[in-house]
């Protein structure tokens, strides 16, 4: 049994340096996530983050605390937090294919739907994570 956490947040990164900053975040996260036995995926639109992380409950709790304290995130909103039998992103400490500013509206619509109906909205956001990660 694993825990899963899907969240969205508003980026506080300087737009001029955001691409490089996110690449550094991904590099550090890959190392940390491997150490914590965490897998997941990240989508960055230029102004928002969408991330799904999954792994042992204590590891997810540790990462949640870190993300909530991280000044690069604003308005961290949990879309879904559950226990799961299988991981969505098995084999990826953090799947990330680069900035996806072109999908900002689609992500925004998914976030809006998630806030109205977390079950349907979480499916939309997870589908986007799959489409824009290097897995598929």
Q: Is 46 left (phi over 0), alpha (psi -120 to 50) or beta?
A: left
Is 33 domain-assigned?
Answer: yes
Q: Indicate the number of domains in the chain.
A: 1
Which percentage of the chain shows pLDDT scores above 70? 89
d(CA 26, CA 33): 10
Is 73 domain-assigned?
Answer: yes
Is 61 domain-assigned?
Answer: yes
pLDDT in tens, 81-121: 999 999 988 888 877 766 655 566 667 777 777 778 877 77
pLDDT of residue 136: 42
Is 136 domain-assigned?
Answer: no
Please state the pTM of the whole predicted model. 0.80
- Find the domain containing 76 and state its range: 2-131
pLDDT band at 28 (very low <50, low <70, confident <90, very high): very high
Is 63 domain-assigned?
Answer: yes
pLDDT of residue 104: 67
Does the pLDDT of residue 69 top 70, yes or no? yes
HSE (side-chain half, CA atoms, 13 Å) at 72: 15
Contact 86, 46 (CB under 8 A): no
CATH number at residue 32: 3.30.70.100
d(CA 25, CA 109): 25
HSE (side-chain half, CA atoms, 13 Å) at 34: 8
């Amino acid at each position: 049994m694993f825990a899963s956490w899907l969240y969205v947040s508003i980026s506080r990164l300087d737009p001029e340096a955001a691409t490089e900053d996110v690449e550094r975040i991904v590099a550090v996260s890959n190392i940390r996530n491997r150490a914590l036995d965490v897998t997941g995926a990240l989508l960055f639109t230029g102004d928002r983050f969408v991330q799904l992380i999954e792994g042992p409950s204590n590891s997810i709790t540790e990462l949640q605390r870190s993300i909530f304290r991280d000044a690069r995130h604003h308005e961290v909103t949990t879309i879904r937090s559950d226990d799961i039998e299988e991981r969505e992103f098995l084999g990826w400490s953090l799947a990330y294919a680069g900035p996806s500013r072109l999908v900002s509206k689609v992500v925004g619509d998914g976030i809006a739907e998630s806030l109205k109906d977390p079950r349907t909205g979480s499916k939309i956001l997870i589908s986007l994570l799959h489409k824009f990660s290097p897995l598929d």
